[in-house]
Amino acid sequence: MVTLTGTGTSQGVPVLGCDCEVCHSTDVRDKRLRTAALLSWGDTTVAFDCGPDFRQQMLAAGTQHLDAIVMTHEHNDHVVGLDDVRPFNFKQGGEMPVFATEKVQKELKTRFAYVFAEGDNRYPGAPMVSLITIDKNTVFSIKGLSFLPVELMHGKLPILGFRVGDFAYLTDVHHIEAIEMHKLQNLHTLVINALHHTEHYSHLNLNEALDLIQELKPQHSYLTHMSHRMGKHAEINKTLPAGVELGYDGLRIRVPVPL
């Protein structure tokens, strides 16, 4: 099961101070926390990213236990909720495994120096985190399930998406090199970003996302990381091709998970 715990941009929706019709919409599908997701199988749950809305997202999803966090990249809207792993530390009695590239780990250690302090410099009650290094070339496993990293270009920044069985989670994509596209063939379910309708230097817009979906031909696709400029969910969703839907916060998607 995949739960989209957030489907908005770094600003979220509604945007502070904005008077547009989307930001004033009463449709709950137009209320978008910062983009993140959960993947659950059996009694195991893994989070993709932990942005500034992490606590609220875990409460909304009813998450009682979290086995690991898998980081896509180091931008604040994907990592700045790291402090909120503390309740899981206390309840589960141990460190939270965080899978991240060396570059992301370096940023985490800078922004959360108190988390990684040692000895007398460590603050009592600080989050307990175990960093596990991943890269685009190495498959890794969590509780017996294999995660295949896929390198994506977020503007000029290399980041990671992940394929798990026939499901792939790709966010903050602008383009994907051909060698990485090969990792995304024959998907059952794809979650991918679509910012809004106009060109952007670091994100796919709606038409670009639809073109990529058409190239990959997954059976089902869900769009995420959408700005208020995408338009209202009820209006845009009905214009999409068969097999493609706008995601929304709290959407639960059944995906085939090989074990």
Q: What would the pLDDT profile of 93-122 be if each residue is shown by its tens digit? A: 999 999 999 999 999 999 999 999 988 778
Tell me if 259 is assigned to some domain: no
- If one counts the domains in the chain, the total is 1
Whether 8 maps to a domain, the answer reads: yes
Q: Is residue 258 part of a domain?
A: no
Q: Outline where 189-232 has alpha helix (H).
A: 206-216
Q: Residue 143 CB: number of other CB atoms within 10 A?
A: 13
Q: What is the CATH number of the domain that holds 97?
A: 3.60.15.10
H/E stretch holding 103: helix 102-111
The order of strands in the sheet holding 145-154 is 140-142, 145-154, 157-164, 167-170, 189-193, 220-224, 244-246
- Answer yes or no: is 69 within a domain: yes
Backbone angles phi, psi at 229, to 5 degrees: -80, -5
Residue 26 in any domain: the answer is yes
Does residue 198 lie in a domain region?
Answer: yes
Q: With cut-offs at 50, 70 and 90, classify the pLDDT of residue 259.
A: low
- C-alpha distances out from residue 251 to 4, 156, 177, 213, Å: 5, 31, 29, 20
Could you tell me the residue range of the domain that residue 194 belongs to?
Answer: 2-253
Q: Report how far apart the first and last C-alpha atoms of the chain are (Å, whole number).
A: 13
- 48-93 pLDDT, tens digit each: 999 999 999 999 999 999 999 999 999 999 999 999 999 999 999 9
